Structure 1
Amino acid sequence: MSKIDYEKIGFKAGLEIHQQLNTGKLFCSCPGVLRSDRALFEVKRKLHLVKGESGEVDVAAKYQHMEDKEFIYEAYDTTCLVELDEEPPHEINKDALFVALQISELLHCKIIPITQVMRKTVIDGSNTSGFQRSLMYARDGYIETSLGKVRIDSLYLEEDSARPIERNEKFTRYRLDRLGIPLVEITTKPDLKNAAHVKEAALIIGDILRSCNVRRGIGTIRQDLNISIKGANRVEIKGFQDPKIMEETVNLEISRQQMYLELKDLKFKENKTVDVTNIISPKLDWMKKQIDSGAKFIAFKLNGFNGKLGKVDGKPYWLGKEIAGLCKTRGFGGIIHSDEDLEKYKFDNDEIEKLKEVLDMKKDDAFLMLLGKKEKIESLLRELVFLFLSKLKFGNPSEVRNCLVDGTTEFSRPMPGSARMYPETDLELLHIHRDLINEVKKNLPKLRSELEEDLKKQALREDQIKILVNDLDLFKLYSSLHRDYNNSMLIANMLIDYPKDFSSRYNMDLEKIYSILNEDVLAFILEKVNSKEVEVVDVKGILEKIVKGEDLENAVKVEKLDLGEIEGFVVKLLKEKPGLRPNAYMGLVMKEFGGKVQPSEVMGIITKLI
């Protein structure tokens, strides 16, 4: 791909970042626990359209409603009537609000003292109520980047959606465990200047979020990119969170929007569709199966589109692919068009010529053909494809697209509008008092980059630092123990290296090991180390005995060997394995006697006898 002059093409981009908070659910008392076991029961629902605050029906909601799906919800003993929309929402979770306010302070935002919880229309089934509760609580912030400030437009605190488990044409199955987990949505202004700048800003905001009490792991953070160039329409790219492909995705989307600008002169005329099943004979097995089940070949002419539908060398997007993406959302595998290699379908030339004749095609015309139930194809063309083609004169559609692993994107749904928002009538206005804001300011966490620097100064290894900054609970435990006992390397080993070794050796879950080696146990042992009742070299052996079931008092009673016995063993080693280096002898002695002897004492004996 040639170098892009971002300023010349009028590049504009902004980020939307959705981060789960590590608290209970936002509007009920349920824990935010994701389940994989069998549900206690399930509920089936269908959702219906509702007008927004402006009195209009949102275009994205209208699109979802046309799919006419049933929704199945799996419920557990960790979900309640609020998630099922059988009970009004409770008061907002104060822990979630506190974390959200910390994030706003770190982003230099202005907090809104009185705010209204809103309902955002969502009828893809991911919310049982048909809407998502959301409140704007801060705005007008910024982050510092290498290319200057990037402005933060707004911060929202909202509830996450239900988790999709299974999808098909007739229904979608959701799990209610995720519904209601608090999310903070961060929206930047379109201040990002190029692909590298987009990535830089995303990483800076991610660093700020990870310094707070947020959830970690796959699915806990979701990033979207809003992007456009001069003359094109804004596109929202969902699932834009892999730093490795961020720049590639930006540049490929620029290429896609430029393709549409080159197609602006095309004038679409809606021609009648023709059933050509009696002309086209299926040669491939998948086609034969569909025809046998009642499917039809439906074709129509595109005036002046010859050469405009097919793939262009070196380009990741082409018009035929874009139309196929629309069709896939309605269950079609793709489309057949006149600009592609029709030999792969094993159609005869005579069939294609007859098809063109029936469609009354001229030299500059193209055709598009679909295989499926006739009424389903007619609905698809009327509601999506013809509308799409009629708007080519305006450039690329303003739509939501999903990011794929190769950096390309695919159509998801139309861009939602403002008509999807209306006030939540079951909750009072939220007052964010000055006392709470002052308390938040007193308890701002350090940024991840600052924590890393602090831990480096404490002589920890890079891998230990990475684990601690990625696990807030473990870091808090480390900080608490380090504050009281000031032995960074030993504490890091007790929290990271030793449990990892025990887990591997005894095939034990790390969580179980951490529940055994809790803060009280570790503090007790560190106290013994400080008072010289326990040697540092003995700590791992003591922890191992505790993990294996020995009580704490007995575990710290370490049996020490007589140095004469050690000396005798070394003499025997020197005779059996002469010529080894001192460190090699040291390893053999420690393997034999473990934590029953100090390494310094062993090395003294070896040095004396060699």
Structure 2
Amino acid sequence: MNWDEIGLKMGLEIHQQLDTESKLFCPCRTELIDSEPDHDIVRNLRPTQSELGKFDRAAFEEAMRKLHFHYENYDDGTCLVEADEEPPHPLNREALELAVTIALLLNMRVVDEFHTMRKQVIDGSNTGGFQRTGLVATDGHLETPQGTVKIENLCLEEDAARRIRETEDGVVFRLDRLGIPLVEITTDPSISDPQQLRDVAYQIGQVLRSTRVKRGLGTIRQDLNISIREGARVEVKGVQDLDLIPEIVEREVMRQLKLVEIRNTLRKRGASVDGDLVDVSEVFRDTASRIISSAESVLAVKLMGFHGLIGTEIQPGRRLGTEMADYAKKRGVKGIFHTDELPAYGITPEEVKALRDAVDASEDDAVVLVAHDRETAENALREVTKRARMAIDGVPEETRKALPDGNTQYLRPLPTSSRMYLETDIPLFSIEEEFIEWIRKNLPELPSEKRERLIEEYGLSDDLASQLVKRNLVEEFEALAEFRVDVTVVASLLAYTLRELGREGHDMDSIGIDELRDVIRLLEEGKVSKDALRDIVACMADDGVTAGEAAEKLDLLLLTEDEVEAVIDEIIELNHEMIQERGMGAMGPLMGQAMGRLRGRADGKIVNRILNSKIRERL
């Protein structure tokens, strides 16, 4: 696609948990809890007006669902602050220090006062109905091959409660994650190429990795803001895979272009939606469709001028009808039927004709029906008519969820500016210039700087250096590199061997830096060969033994040269005919036999030297 021609504009929001001792506004620890919760709190949320007397449209939309929210909590690990039963404690200074560190690494200007704000949250993930957040820095930038990208804001805020499961009438959350310090980093919307968007996300991620941030699934989340000239701003939430970003952008652009085409067609047809709901239960009184026959009532709505367009594919495998169904599902139904896909699902051509007659639909009209209890069906069809009217307008502003295949799915309307207001329970926090300068003088190395230093100082390959940086193992490598051994062996052990052993099912959690020091010390002292390291570490992980005990148990302690020579003499005697026939050509096969016999107990160079000499003696 020609991105400039379609007016593609993109921005990025990155949310990263900080690795602090305690939460942002209470002393609770920041680790997730695996045990069964001790208590359950039930809350219902409702929208409230802002100070200007306005409702946030996303909050109003969510309140219409009338959900019950359950919050699982613990006697030890969560407290009354998370339950919104106690005022917040003073701001976590450690978290602010980390946020300022990240801001300076992103070339940002730090504010002189931190003001805590309340940002309205409408999905139930915050017990108070709001998230505490505050601006830390503005006006940063990153350099990319496609140009400079502006970093607009960096905020320090609370993470939300952990979503555990859905129930028939609501959602169950757990409060162990609520309040963990989080930085939100926002770029401006000037990014115009999908690959550049991915590169910016990667660079920011590398900056974050150079500081104390949490690692693992769910600790970092990327949200994409995407729009085109004739479309609208759409926020895509929950992007986990950086490599999927270009695909998500391309599919969202495809969706918006298709919606623009549909809008133009609808306007040419003079399409309209009156929203009158018709009870068509009688039409399907004897239907063979099990879904419809089991429903309390069947309601339908006519969409004038929509014939053939509801079935139009707007993303691979997703149609305009899918978009309408996503809206309807927010009201408790599993899906919708529409005439662009009928007859099907047990609905006959005769029933389709009777349906069209019942709602007085012409050839250019489409009909959507929902089978459920009457109230749910009415609410679902009202959502369908709302989405149909949006189709006549074009592309709606929405918050959407990233799907694993690169498509996106409707979540809720895009929030408005009416959802932010001042937190009155927390005083402002002054950020002194001396505090900023102290942090500036102690900034950590950026990942790119670490990689270059490893290559220059230790002579590592670009691949090994990059893997150590990527896996956050530079500190461990430098500790082990103090031993008088080949640093490439140490780097390979950390970057590849440990990971491979973990994938094979060995419990690598028990192998820390002290255990690895013992392993490398055996190598330095000449007690084991480098080829034995993998088996020794695996035995230590499985059996809980020391490095020396593992080497002895596996019979991997190095033999003396005399012992190696004795083994090679045996091999020579058994293969004297091969030596006479092949001469030095027997070196390869015999070397294989020798290393098989001496596996892990002799250095390969020594074996090669002795074997070479012994073969020449026989010729």
TM-score (norm. length: structure 1): 0.87
- For 1:483 and 1:308, locate their aligned partners in 2 and report how far apart those are by CA, in whole Å: 69
**Is 1:277 matched with 2:281?**
yes
- Picking from 35, 38, 41, the partner of 2:39 is 41
8 Å Cα contact 1:402-1:410 kept in structure 2 = yes
CA distance in 2, matches of 1:149, 1:205: 13
- Partner in structure 1 of residue 329 of structure 2: 328
**What is the 5 A alignment of 1:175-324?**
175-262=174-261, 263=263, 265=267, 266-281=270-285, 282-289=287-294, 291=295, 295-311=296-312, 318-324=319-325
Task: Rate the CA distance shift 1:500–1:112 in 2: closer, same or farther, 3 A.
Answer: closer
Distance 1:544 1:20, change over 3 A: closer
Contact 1:570-1:589 at 8 Å conserved across structures:
yes
Q: Distance in 1 between matches of 2:354 and 2:129?
A: 49
Where structure 2 has 5 or more consecutive residues not aligned to the other structure, the ranges are 579-584
Match of 1:366 in 2: 366
SS at match of 1:344: coil
Quote the offset at 1:416 in angstroms.
0.7
- Written as runs of structure 1 = structure 2, the 5 A alignment for 1:54-133 is 54-76=52-74, 77-133=76-132
Assess if the C-alpha contact under 8 Å between 1:53 and 1:421 holds in 2: no
SS in 1 for 2:215: coil
Question: Kindly tell me: are residues 88 and 187 of structure 1, through their superposed partners in 2, closer, same or farther at Cα, counting changes over 3 Å?
Answer: same
Match in the other structure for 1:351: 351
What SS does the aligned partner of 1:401 have? Answer: strand
Shift in Å, 1:410 = 1.2
Q: How does 1:528-607 map to 2 (within 5 A)?
A: 529=524, 540=533, 561=559, 563-578=561-576, 579=578, 581-582=586-587, 585-586=590-591, 588-589=593-594, 592=597, 598-607=603-612
Query: Which 10-residue stretch deviates more, 461-470 or 142-151?
Result: 461-470
Bigger mean CA deviation after superposition, 33-42 or 271-280: 33-42
Query: In the superposition, relative to structure 1, how do residues 176 and 462 fare at CA in structure 2: closer, same or farther (>3 Å)?
Result: farther
Kept in 1, the 8 Å contact 2:49–2:55? The answer is yes
Structure 2 distance, partners of 1:137, 1:26, is 14
AA partner of residue 277 (structure 1): S
1:20-71 Cα deviation digits (max 9, x unpaired): 2222322223332223332233322222333334342211111111111111
Does structure 1 conserve the Cα–Cα contact (< 8 Å) formed by 2:198 and 2:243?
no
1:11 aligns with 2:16: no
> Structure 2 vs 1, CA of residues 574 and 253 (structure 1 numbering), >3 Å: closer, same or farther?
same
Aligned residues: 594
Question: Take 1:559 and 1:257, find their aligned partners in 2: how far apart are those partners?
Answer: 66
Query: What's the RMSD between the two structures over aligned residues?
Result: 3.3
2:161 is aligned with 1:162: yes
* 1:279-322 deviation line (CA, Å, top 9, x unaligned): 12431223333x2xxx2110122223333322259976543232
AA partner of residue 38 (structure 2) = L
Is the 2:278–2:359 contact (alpha carbons within 8 Å) kept by the matching residues of 1?
yes
2:527/2:558 contact within 8 Å kept = no
Label 1:555 to 1:390 Cα distance change in 2 as closer, same or farther (>3 A).
closer
CA contact (8 A) 2:529 2:558 kept: no
Q: State the partner residue of 2:469.
A: 469
Q: CA–CA distance in 1 between the matches of 2:498 and 2:356?
A: 72
Query: Secondary structure in 1 aligned to 2:570?
Result: helix
Matched, 1:28 2:21: no
The answer for unaligned runs of 5 or more in structure 1 is: none
CA distance in 2, matches of 1:321, 1:364: 20
Q: Is the 8 A contact 1:53 1:420 kept in 2?
A: no
Distance 2:171 2:112 in 1: 39
Judged with a 3 Å threshold, the aligned counterparts in structure 2 of structure 1 residues 357 and 598 are, in CA distance, closer, same or farther, namely closer
Separation (CA, whole Å) in 2 of partners of 1:55 and 1:543: 65
**Partner Cα separation in structure 1 for residue 502 and residue 8 of structure 2:** 51
Asked whether the equivalents of residues 216 and 470 of structure 1 are also in contact (C-alpha less than 8 Å), the reply is no
Residues 63-89 of structure 1 deviation map (CA, whole Å, 9 limit, x = unaligned): 111111111222243333322223332
After TM superposition, the structure 1 stretch with the greater mean CA deviation from structure 2, 182-191 or 8-17, is: 8-17
Distance 2:592 2:614 in 1: 16
State the match for 1:379 in structure 2. 379
Q: Which residue of 1 aligns with 2:405?
A: 406
Give distance in 2, aligned partners of 1:252 and 1:350. 37
Identity over the aligned pairs, expressed in percent? Answer: 36
Q: Which amino acid aligns with 1:268?
A: S
The 1:583–1:447 alpha-carbon spacing in structure 2 relative to 1, beyond 3 Å, is: farther
Q: Say if 1:408 and 1:601 are closer, same or farther in 2 by CA, change over 3 A.
A: closer
**1:117 to partner: Cα distance:** 1.0
C-alpha separation between the residues in 2 aligned to 1:227 and 1:597? 60
Which stretch of structure 1 is more off in the superposition, 409-418 or 8-17? Answer: 8-17
Separation (CA, whole Å) in 1 of partners of 2:558 and 2:225: 67
Q: Write out per-residue CA displacement over residues 123-159 of structure 1, whole angstroms, 9 at most, x where no aligned residue.
A: 3111122111111101111111222111111111111
1:125–1:226 distance in 2 versus 1, CA, 3 Å: same
Counterpart amino acid of residue 359 in structure 1: V
Contact 1:109 1:142 in 2 (8 A): yes
Tell whether 2:444 aligns with 1:445: yes
Tell me how far apart the structure 2 counterparts of residues 423 and 387 of structure 1 sit (CA, whole Å).
33
Residue by residue, what CA displacement relative to the aligned partner does 1:242-278 show, whole Å, maximum 9, x if unpaired?
3333223222222322333331525434242111101
Describe the SS at the equivalent of 2:568. Answer: helix
Deviation readout 1:358-415 (Å, 9 max, x if unpaired): 3223343322211111111222344x33333334443211110112122221110011
Contact in 2 for aligned 1:503/1:513 (Cα 8 Å): no
Structure possessing the higher relative contact order (Cα contacts under 8 Å, 6 or more residues apart): 1
Partners of 2:575 and 2:38 lie apart in 1 by 65
Q: Secondary structure, in 3 states, of the residue corresponding to 2:216?
A: coil
